């Protein structure tokens, strides 16, 4: 039964991929000379792609807190697995910062490119400066950016300290940080949302799962300050405190 469900969902998602791929190509062509309009429409359709993906995979979630944070915010969240991208993408209109490895994933790499995802390879210091610049540009264009500052997926037992480098974009742009704590409710340890070691096995598990429920806790925004380390630490403490308190409850 699980593999039958997986096959049906995969068939549906192929059509979803085709539709949003064509939309993405058209937006890039139509607004090639206008970055502000390109940003606006790409972020709009990216959110609808994420909502459609959640519907196909039956990812159910509720938002606790401010549902419409200020545009041009840096939205930071704990990171557990691939569903994080779809759920947060459905909650917030914005652009993602993602690890460079996603550029090698089949299908997702094309949609990520069309969605103007900022790919991050933190091993190269020169590229980190470029990433900061790209985030700052989006924030200054009044577009939000969604980021997983743990820089890795975890099993969800705790939140790893946030990397501070990318918070420099907030310092430069003078925009707020919106911390988000994402929690899954499938009763598994670790949750099936956890990425693990194999992308293929991870995706099959998600395709076979009848339902995945989650709660997105949108925490009070943190005003931009002069120190990226303090912003990273304050965001980390906010997310970790909320996440662990919910886990204990």
Q: What is the pLDDT of residues 152-169, one digit of tens each?
A: 888 888 999 999 999 999
- If phi over 0 gives left and psi between -120 and 50 gives alpha, with beta otherwise, what is residue 44? alpha
CATH number for 2-248: choose from 1.10.150, 3.30.70, 3.10.20, 3.40.1130. Answer: 3.40.1130
Q: What's the pTM value of the predicted model, to 2 decimals?
A: 0.92
Measuring CA to CA, how many Å separate 184 from each of 157, 192, 216? 11, 9, 9
Give the pLDDT score at 33.
Answer: 84
Looking at residue 210, the DSSP 8-state letter turns out to be S
The answer to whether 103 and 112 are in contact (CB under 8 A) is yes
* 177/109 Cα distance (integer angstroms): 27
DSSP string, 157-169: SS-PPPP-GGGHH
pLDDT digits (tens, 9 = 90+) for 58-113: 999 999 998 889 999 999 999 998 899 999 999 999 999 887 666 666 667 778 88
Percent share of the chain, pLDDT over 70: 94
- pLDDT value of residue 104: 67
For the chain, which residues make up each domain, given as ranges? 2-248
In the prediction, which pLDDT does 239 show? 97
Which pLDDT score is estimated for 189? 83
User: Does the structure show a pLDDT above 80 at 219?
Assistant: yes
Structure confidence at residue 105 (pLDDT) = 67
Binned at pLDDT 50, 70 and 90, residue 125 comes out as low
Q: Which tens digit of pLDDT belongs to each residue from 41-55?
A: 999 999 999 999 999
């Amino acid at each position: 039964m699980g593999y039958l469900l997986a096959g049906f969902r995969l068939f549906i998602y192929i059509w979803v991929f085709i539709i949003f791929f064509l939309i993405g190509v058209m937006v890039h062509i139509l607004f090639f000379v206008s970055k502000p309009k390109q940003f606006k429409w790409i972020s709009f359709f990216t959110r609808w792609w994420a909502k459609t993906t959640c519907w196909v995979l039956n990812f159910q979630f509720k938002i606790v807190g401010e549902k419409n944070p200020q545009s041009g915010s840096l939205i930071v969240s704990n990171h557990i697995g691939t569903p994080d991208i779809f759920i947060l993408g459905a909650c917030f209109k914005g652009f993602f910062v993602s690890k460079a490895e996603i550029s090698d994933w089949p299908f997702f790499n094309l949609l990520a490119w069309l969605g103007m995802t900022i790919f991050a390879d933190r091993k190269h210091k020169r590229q980190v400066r470029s990433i900061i610049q790209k985030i700052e540009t989006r924030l200054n264009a009044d577009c939000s950016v969604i980021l997983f500052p743990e820089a890795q997926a975890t099993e969800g037992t705790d939140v790893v300290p946030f990397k501070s480098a990318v918070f420099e974009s907030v310092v430069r742009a003078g925009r707020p940080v919106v911390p988000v704590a994402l929690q899954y409710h499938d009763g598994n340890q670790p949750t099936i949302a956890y990425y693990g070691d194999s992308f293929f096995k991870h995706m099959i598990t998600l395709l076979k799962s009848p339902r995945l429920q989650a709660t997105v806790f949108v925490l009070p925004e943190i005003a931009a300050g002069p120190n990226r380390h303090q912003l990273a630490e304050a965001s980390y403490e906010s997310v970790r405190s909320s996440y662990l308190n919910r886990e204990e409850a």
